[in-house]
A and B are shown apart, each in its own frame.
Chain A
Amino acid sequence: EAQVTQNPRYLITVTGKKLTVTCSQNMNHEYMSWYRQDPGLGLRQIYYSMNVEVTDKGDVPEGYKVSRKEKRNFPLILESPSPNQTSLYFCASRARGDYTDTQYFGPGTRLTVL
């Protein structure tokens, strides 16, 4: 089954404790992205990757890091989480990278930073 998976689905942590949210897709997609969703703001892009070892900032990259060492994986790293990073996070992937491209989302990771 074609899918995007994320782990963990739920995470409660404390300020300053480094964490990684994993993302993996089995569709051989080149483009992958991370979004955060906050009430009243919709989804905002954090980082995206156009291929292995190619990443770039989205609209809200501060406080986040990513890496793309393999085509299927795109982990999101919070080196020193803060309470304002409490949010619902989505990983997404798509095939071609043009404007017609449908984006497929993972199930989401609900992060709470105390």
Chain B
Amino acid sequence: AQKITQTQPGMFVQEKEAVTLDCTYDTSDPSYGLFWYKQPSSGEMIFLIYQGSYDQQNATEGRYSLNFQKARKSANLVISASQLGDSAMYFCAMREGPNNLFFGTGTRLTVIP
């Protein structure tokens, strides 16, 4: 079974609007971390936001927030007030224990002026 599932290969959003990128995960480990990364066309991987499995509140970092629904095993990324520079690939990832970081296949977000 896939550890991380991102079901939206591509998304479009109007500039200044909010957008939600979906991510579901699969684990039986009670301790895990969830991460979102942004990959612009230049190729680098940029860390955006982190949510721990025991965190009670949803993580927020500026215009990014993580909608964490533990019972549903979902960790959706919400980007508010989209900007043209937000156009990129977005990857959801999960770590169980000390080692591997499992990545989803990514969602390509395009912001329309």
Contact = CB atoms under 8 A, between A and B. Distances in A.
B47 to A, nearest CB: 6
A99 B105 contact: no
Contacts of B31: 99
Interface residues of B, number: 26
Contacts of B53: 99
A74 interface: no
A99 B100 contact: no
Name, among A31, A43, A98, the residue most crowded by chain B CB atoms within 10 Å (CB to CB): A43
Contacts of A104: 47
Contacts of B100: 45, 48, 58-59
Contacts of A101: 33, 95, 98
A104 B33 CA distance: 15
A107 interface: yes
A50 B100 CA distance: 11
> What's the interface size class on A, roughly?
20 to 34
B68 interface: no
Given A97-B98, A99-B95, A100-B52, A90 B103 contact: no
A98 B43 contact: no
A102 B47 contact: yes
Nearest to B101: A103
Contacts of A97: 98-99
B47 A103 contact: yes
Contacts of B103: 42-44
A42 to B, nearest CB: 4
A96 B34 CA distance: 16
Interface in B53-77: 53
Contacts of B99: 48, 56, 97
B105 A41 contact: yes
Contact of B43 (A44, A50, A107): A107
A110 interface: yes
Interface in B11-67: 31-33, 35, 37, 43-45, 47, 50, 52-53
Interface of A: 31, 33, 40-45, 48, 50, 56, 58-59, 88, 90, 92, 97-105, 107-108, 110
